[in-house]
């Protein structure tokens, strides 16, 4: 019976077999004349003009029917067949997820046509995918910055010491960037433009293209990244607070290990230029963004497929 690993997020959905990974936007195009008819998912959906848009997953809450259709479509692309019959879904989900979220995921897998589902801790998978060793006796900290939530894990000896989730993600940063550009420079930019701007914050100057707030005509401005980083600073402060509170609930021996080993960032939000350096300055602990930050969770889940270790130990391991 084949396994398919899945990392289902608000921004991206990634599926994997032991040999292949597919990554698509968690996005659907809906027929404006018939709201029950889905025209396409992922990148194909973005290309359809005049379609109504839908996001199967938002704020950690999934539209079960729409997510199941999306999962079935992406899985079919991965397997090269129209059916996932007989396949078991290895679903990456934070260990701190509640029963409602877990039940919704189980129902989604059933509606998508999977014969079974096994849940594995997404942060343990993320640690594996980022090149960390969750089985090490020395504790480590992982921060997964998604679009709408941030999950924080302290791990050692193959288990979880402390795990925490907060309702802050890269979308908060995007909104602050868009608001700053509109208020200070009189230009409206879209969500996708804000995402691109965020990735270019290492440049000397960033050219912003959008719509003039006053005239409604196309407009262009040049902005220094330092200005946008100051606008985003409250988001960094919130992240620092969450990391600090996690450390406060971590045993002293593990905290000492983290001070030496540092903090690893994964998720799409980890890619914002300068974020790791900004966090390091504020918390006084080495911080780095994983090289494969966006795909760390699915890469770790794929490793579990390869090693046959689908499950994850639930018990916390005190250091």
Cβ atoms 95, 158 nearer than 8 A: no
Q: What percent of the chain has pLDDT over 70?
A: 95
According to DSSP, the residues that pair with 152 across neighbouring strands are 143, 164
**Rounded to an integer, what distance in angstroms lies between the CA atom of residue 40 and that of residue 26?**
11
Phi/psi of residue 118, nearest 5 degrees: -125, 130
Helix, strand, coil shares of the chain as percentages rounded to 5?
Answer: 40, 25, 35
Residue 207's alpha-carbon distances to 60, 173, 182, in angstroms, are 33, 18, 14
Q: Which carries the bigger pLDDT value, residue 313 or residue 310?
A: 310
Quick one: tokens of 145? 């910055």
Residues 141, 163: contact at Cβ < 8 Å?
A: no
Chain-centroid distance, C-alpha 138: 26
Per-residue confidence (pLDDT) for residue 64, from 0 to 100: 92
- Of the given ranges (105-119, 271-285, 298-312), which has the lowest mean pLDDT? 298-312
Give SS3 for 58.
strand
- 31 pLDDT more than 90: yes
Indicate the average pLDDT of the chain. Answer: 89
Q: Among 36-40, 143-147, 167-171, 183-187, where is mean pLDDT lowest?
A: 167-171
Domain made up of 133-169+231-291: CATH architecture:
2-Layer Sandwich (3.30)
Asked if 4 and 84 count as a contact pair (C-beta separation under 8 A), the reply is yes
pLDDT at 99 > cutoff 60: yes
Please list, in sequence order, all residues whose beta carbon lies within 8 angstroms of the beta carbon of residue 168, skipping any fewer than 6 positions away. 149, 150, 235, 238, 239, 242
**Can you give the pLDDT at residue 81?**
74
Q: What percent of the chain is modeled with pLDDT above 90?
A: 66
Question: What is the pLDDT averaged over residues 273-301?
Answer: 92
Helices (H) and strands (E) in the chain, counts: 10, 18
Strand locations in the chain (E): 3-8, 12-16, 21-25, 28-30, 38-41, 52-54, 57-58, 61-62, 88-93, 116-121, 140-145, 150-156, 159-166, 187-188, 206-212, 218-223, 263-266, 287-289
Local confidence band at 1 (pLDDT 50, 70, 90 cut-offs): low
Q: What is the pLDDT of residues 62-74, one digit of tens each?
A: 799 999 999 999 9
- Nearest alpha-carbon partner for 223 in 257, 251, 173, 185: 185
Label residue 310 by pLDDT band (50, 70, 90): low
pLDDT for 127? 96
CB 29 within 8 A of CB 56: no
Task: For residue 317, name the pLDDT band (cuts at 50, 70, 90).
Answer: very low
pLDDT score for 74: 94
Measure the N-to-C terminal CA separation of the chain; round to a whole number of Å: 37
Span 196-218, average pLDDT: 88
Pinpoint the residues of the chain covered by CATH 3.90.640.10: 171-230
291 in Cβ contact with 223 (< 8 Å): no
- Where exactly does CATH 3.30.420.40 map onto the chain? 3-124+301-307, 133-169+231-291
Strand residues in 70-197 grouped as ranges (E): 88-93, 116-121, 140-145, 150-156, 159-166, 187-188
What is the pTM assigned to this prediction? 0.88
CA gap 32, 200 in Å, rounded: 35
The mean pLDDT of 152-167, rounded to a whole number, is 92
Per the listing, tokens 């100051």 go with 230
pLDDT score recorded for residue 89:
94
Q: Does domain 3-124+301-307 have CATH number 3.30.420.40?
A: yes
Q: State pLDDT tens for residues 50-95.
A: 899 999 998 667 799 999 999 999 998 898 876 787 889 999 999 8
Tracing tokens 């607070």 back to the chain, one arrives at 241
DSSP character string of 96-110: T--HHHHHHHHHHHH
Place of tokens 């974020």: 275
Task: Read off the pLDDT of each residue in 242-248 and give the average, rounded to a whole number.
Answer: 93
pLDDT category of residue 168 using cuts at 50, 70 and 90: confident
Local structure of 261: helix, strand or coil: helix
226-235, 276-285, 305-314: which has the minimum mean pLDDT?
305-314
How many residues would you count in the chain?
319
> 165 is written with which tokens?
């989730």
What's phi and psi for 261, nearest 5 deg? Answer: -80, -25
Contact 203, 192 (CB under 8 A): no
171-230: CATH topology: Actin; Chain A, domain 4 (3.90.640)
Strand partners, 44: none
């Amino acid at each position: 019976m084949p396994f398919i690993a899945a990392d289902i997020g608000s921004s991206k959905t990634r599926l994997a077999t032991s040999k292949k990974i597919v990554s698509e936007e968690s996005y659907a195009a809906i027929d404006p004349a018939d709201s029950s008819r889905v025209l396409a998912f992922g990148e194909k959906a973005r290309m359809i003009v005049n379609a109504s848009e839908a996001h199967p997953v938002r704020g950690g809450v999934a539209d079960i029917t729409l997510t199941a259709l999306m999962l079935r479509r992406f899985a079919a692309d991965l397997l090269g067949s129209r059916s996932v019959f007989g396949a078991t879904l290895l679903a990456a989900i934070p260990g701190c997820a509640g029963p409602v979220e877990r039940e919704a995921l189980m129902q989604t897998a059933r509606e998508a046509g999977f014969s079974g589902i096994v849940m594995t801790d997404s942060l343990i998978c993320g640690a594996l995918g980022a090149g960390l060793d969750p089985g090490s006796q020395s504790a480590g900290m992982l921060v997964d910055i998604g679009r709408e939530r941030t999950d924080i894990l302290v791990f050692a000896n193959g288990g979880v010491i402390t795990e925490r989730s907060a309702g802050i993600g890269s979308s908060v940063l995007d909104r602050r960037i868009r608001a700053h550009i509109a208020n200070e420079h009189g230009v409206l930019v879209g969500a996708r433009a804000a995402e691109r701007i965020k990735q270019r914050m290492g440049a000397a100057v960033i050219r912003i293209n959008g719509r003039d707030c006053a005239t409604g005509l196309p407009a262009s401005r040049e902005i220094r990244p330092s200005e946008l980083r100051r606008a985003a600073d409250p988001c960094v402060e919130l992240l620092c607070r969450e990391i600090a509170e996690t450390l406060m609930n971590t045993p002293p021996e593990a905290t000492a290990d983290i001070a030496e080993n540092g903090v690893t960032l994964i998720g799409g939000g980890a890619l914002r230029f300068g974020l790791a350096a900004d966090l390091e300055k504020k918390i006084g602990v080495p911080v780095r963004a994983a090289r494969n930050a966006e795909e760390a969770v699915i890469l770790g889940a794929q490793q579990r497929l390869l090693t046959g270790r689908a499950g994850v130990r639930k018990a916390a391991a005190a250091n």
